[in-house]
Amino acid sequence: MDILHLIDRLEEMASEARRLPVGGGLVISRQRLLDVIDRMRVAVPREVYDARDVLQRREQLLEAAQQEVAHLVEESKTEIEKRLEQTEVVKVAEERAREVLAQAQTRAQDLLRSAEEQARGRLDDAQQSSRSQMREADVYALQTLKRLEQELDGFMTTVRRGINALEQRAAERPG
């Protein structure tokens, strides 16, 4: 049975229902309503369920990527702070910070790219209704990447301030 027909049937039930005298509520047969809902569940294409599973998997992959990026960023911050405390290895700390930052960015991009490719491969077979869900997932991924970019920019600012502070301290010391 076509899902649109079932939606029309629900609308008919609502228009045929008796109105309650107070509050504008309706009295509809519970069994008839549950019967139409059960038929709607059966009428939903398998691709919609598949798309939902793909989106859930993508969400899990994105969350894992975010957690890994957060972990890498936290490790990077810790490493930078240790190196900044040792003024004789400031240049090494700066280079390591760049490497860790590049690794974090590459790893995050690889994880996100992998998640998007997997989701794209399965969603190509889904119907039009699952495509709108994919657009929402892309918006979420874009927001996540923008947040990641902001965090990484903040991290680079912190590194630059530390380097500037150490260079200024070194310049102020006599001889």
Residue written as tokens 């691709």? Answer: 47
CB-based contacts of 1, cutoff 8 Å, min separation 6: 39, 42, 43
Query: How far apart are alpha carbons 50 and 35 in whole angstroms?
Result: 24
CB-based contacts of 130, cutoff 8 Å, min separation 6: 47, 48, 50, 51, 52, 123
Average pLDDT per 10 consecutive residues for the chain, totaling 175 residues: 82 87 86 89 82 91 93 88 68 78 86 78 64 76 86 91 92 79
**Contact criterion met (CB below 8 Å) for 146 and 140:** no
What is residue 90's predicted lDDT score, i.e. its pLDDT?
63
Put simply, whether the predicted model's pTM sits higher than 0.75 gets the answer: no
Calculate the alpha carbon distances from 97 to 14, 89, 100, 107, 116 in Å.
Answer: 64, 12, 5, 15, 28
What is residue 70's predicted lDDT score, i.e. its pLDDT?
93
What is residue 119's predicted lDDT score, i.e. its pLDDT?
67
Residue written as tokens 């500037």? Answer: 164
Token output for 74: 């936290």
Query: How far apart are alpha carbons 155 and 105 in whole angstroms?
Result: 12
Provide DSSP, 124-146.
TTS-HHHHHHHHHHHHHHHHHHH
What is residue 95's predicted lDDT score, i.e. its pLDDT?
81
